[in-house]
Structure 1
């Protein structure tokens, strides 16, 4: 069993090593720490880019922790006149970035006998990718399921990578779904909301299952509500959403 240790938060100045355009809105950004520094984080944690005008902007770390100097981020551009535009300007200018990391408590649990299900919507795939690559790197043997959903096929911006994993690892299963694929797209996969697809395959979530969810608060809470109706205990679903967008408590 691998032991996932605590990590120390630090702020470091990172160079932009590489940027890949994954679809119209999402860029894969590799940041490199200074010589002599290494990236020490847990799969599922995130980094904060410090901004001059708009505070900071948080992005999940998308690569597995291997002790190197680089981190991978998946940055989606949504024009907002604020932090997103400022981050985009910094990336376009290849400006070195001050990054505070690692942060977040939604991390992969030590290996156990549970089936692990990873639920992702669009760029919610980033922390899931980190967790899965950690599982593969450490040869975890438990059953791993990735349910990745989007509106259109371009939202599954690393679809081919997930298909490669499906072919390479016997204990890994990839189930993509689109909620609004036009007939002309030629999509041959599942249709509908991704958490509904999960429930079609796992009707009873009461035993030996843990779920990691990455996506918007609306998606995660809709999934939680339906999963609890199928027996999932709230202690067996993990998401950063519960920390940064908690539901209001009843008066």
Structure 2
């Protein structure tokens, strides 16, 4: 019997994005069975995975390290506790016994079939030649299956170890999947994977992260004050913030479908640090209370307010997967009073009020189209948030980033972008300095050069952030090249 794994787990084993694997499925190279794929197909298309047995732990560590790259600023998870390990090993033991029984039955049937063929050939001398061919074919197939068993051993072994150290959760009805490592709560693991799970306090008080177990086993890891009714318990409801996954899970859980599902919030947060990036731009890192984190979608804005100074709207430049740590980009040379206060007077541990989120410039994550991001100058802030979210979700097959600035020094997070390109094979970064040239023409010329095949970008989603003039001209140029208007998403960004 073929061993099936979920698409998410197969992508982790193969070391590629889910979007890349989905392309294999769309092209017919790999078959999909209700969201599952065969391990033998993964082994055939990614032969480098067939490592020596003593390389398995190294391969597993690489898988977990790649996951850690996406989970920004996360503290490494503690290993699963003994109870969880015993439960997971117990499930694997049951599967092993079942597999051995199936194999025993299979070989018994093969032996009986050989005997029947031999008897048939003796009773029908005229068909002896055909029977020998059939017997030869049968023996050849049995040997082929045995060879495949050894070929797939490293991949199966790696998958088995991965199932011991991390449980997989599938959400219903969205079909979203993520891994729960160590003893992380289900909520923390889901948020760190970039999913917009419903929650409020994340501390067991509000009950907004309530979900129903469809299959699998969980373990309570912290007390919660929210009281589940007896009816809730009988129906399998839990709080995701207070439970971890012992086995693979299927949960019925609420998620934000779009920006309209995110509530407005007002949070008192404090300043972690302010970091100058060049002569004008700095990052403001803000930390929210653990029990009152900011729910937002990548690309959205917030209003920052400081008592006695005023308020100003900024794009969030960080990923919603790390909603306790917000990053804001601001211009230290801006003339307004608020920016001047940020640059000269604001100190670590000072408090400010965060209100929001707002905006519709968000990632269309359920459509795994290749993506082109175009950031003009300080339009990089919302684009950075979108990219980090896309990398965390791992759903697109290819990303291109074009960052256009007058001079090289204006690429205030150039090394950060280069690190993305180094870490992710499917991300290409194109820094463009237009000097006195037309920035839109510079962008379109580079875009066409890198996608020279006719119609190469017509299936892409294109996100543009910049001034009104830059957005309008770029969008018009793309429409003339046959890009559908519904595939172009724009955000007006005032100079910071």
Residue 398 of structure 2 is aligned to residue 143 of structure 1: yes
Residue 363 of structure 2 is aligned to residue 108 of structure 1: yes
Deviation at residue 20 of structure 1 after TM alignment: 0.6
Alignment of 1:6-155 (within 5 A): 6-50=261-305, 56-80=311-335, 84-94=336-346, 95-155=350-410
User: In 2, Cα distance between the equivalents of 1:99 and 1:125?
Assistant: 21
Helix, strand or coil: the match of 1:200? helix
User: In 1, Cα distance between the equivalents of 2:322 and 2:412?
Assistant: 26
Q: Residue 229 of structure 1 is aligned with which of 480, 489, 492? A: 480
Q: Mark the CA change 1:123 to 1:142 in structure 2 (over 3 Å): closer, same or farther.
A: same
Structure 1 window deviating more from structure 2 (191-200 vs 120-129): it is 191-200
Q: How many residues matched?
A: 232
Helix, strand or coil: the match of 1:239? strand
User: In 1, Cα distance between the equivalents of 2:344 and 2:287?
Assistant: 16
User: In 2, Cα distance between the equivalents of 1:206 and 1:133?
Assistant: 22
Task: Verify the 8 A CA contact 1:112 1:142 in the aligned structure 2.
Answer: no
User: In 1, Cα distance between the equivalents of 2:456 and 2:263?
Assistant: 35
Task: Verify the 8 A CA contact 1:142 1:171 in the aligned structure 2.
Answer: yes
- Superposed CA RMSD: 2.7
Deviation at residue 36 of structure 1 after TM alignment: 1.6
For structure 1, the 5+ residue unaligned runs are 182-190, 245-251
Q: Residue 193 of structure 1 is aligned with which of 442, 450, 466? A: 442
- Alpha-carbon displacement from aligned partner over 1:2-26 (angstroms, at most 9, x marks no partner): 5652311112222111111011111
User: In 1, Cα distance between the equivalents of 2:456 and 2:306?
Assistant: 42
User: In 2, Cα distance between the equivalents of 1:56 and 1:234?
Assistant: 35
Greater C-alpha Rg = 2
Q: Residue 208 of structure 1 is aligned with which of 440, 443, 459? A: 459
Deviation at residue 78 of structure 1 after TM alignment: 4.8
Structure-2-length-normalised TM-score? 0.43
- Alpha-carbon displacement from aligned partner over 1:161-195 (angstroms, at most 9, x marks no partner): 111111111111111110018xxxxxxxxx97334
User: In 2, Cα distance between the equivalents of 1:63 and 1:197?
Assistant: 27
User: In 2, Cα distance between the equivalents of 1:172 and 1:108?
Assistant: 16
Task: Verify the 8 A CA contact 2:331 2:339 in the aligned structure 1.
Answer: no
The higher relative CO (CA closer than 8 Å, separation ≥ 6) is in: 1
User: In 2, Cα distance between the equivalents of 1:132 and 1:232?
Assistant: 21
Deviation at residue 92 of structure 1 after TM alignment: 2.8
Helix, strand or coil: the match of 1:177? strand
Q: Mark the CA change 1:36 to 1:90 in structure 2 (over 3 Å): closer, same or farther.
A: same
User: In 1, Cα distance between the equivalents of 2:379 and 2:270?
Assistant: 24
Deviation at residue 53 of structure 1 after TM alignment: 7.7
- Alpha-carbon displacement from aligned partner over 1:68-106 (angstroms, at most 9, x marks no partner): 4121011124533xxx33232145322522221211111
- Alpha-carbon displacement from aligned partner over 1:140-175 (angstroms, at most 9, x marks no partner): 342111011100011111111111111111111111
Q: Residue 431 of structure 2 is aligned with which of 176, 187, 202? A: 176
After TM superposition, where is structure 1 displaced by more than 4 Å over at least 4 residues in a row? 1-4, 51-55
Structure-1-length-normalised TM-score? 0.82
For structure 2, the 5+ residue unaligned runs are 1-174, 177-194, 197-255
User: In 2, Cα distance between the equivalents of 1:229 and 1:100?
Assistant: 39
Structure 1 window deviating more from structure 2 (226-235 vs 197-206): it is 197-206
Q: Residue 167 of structure 1 is aligned with which of 412, 422, 430? A: 422
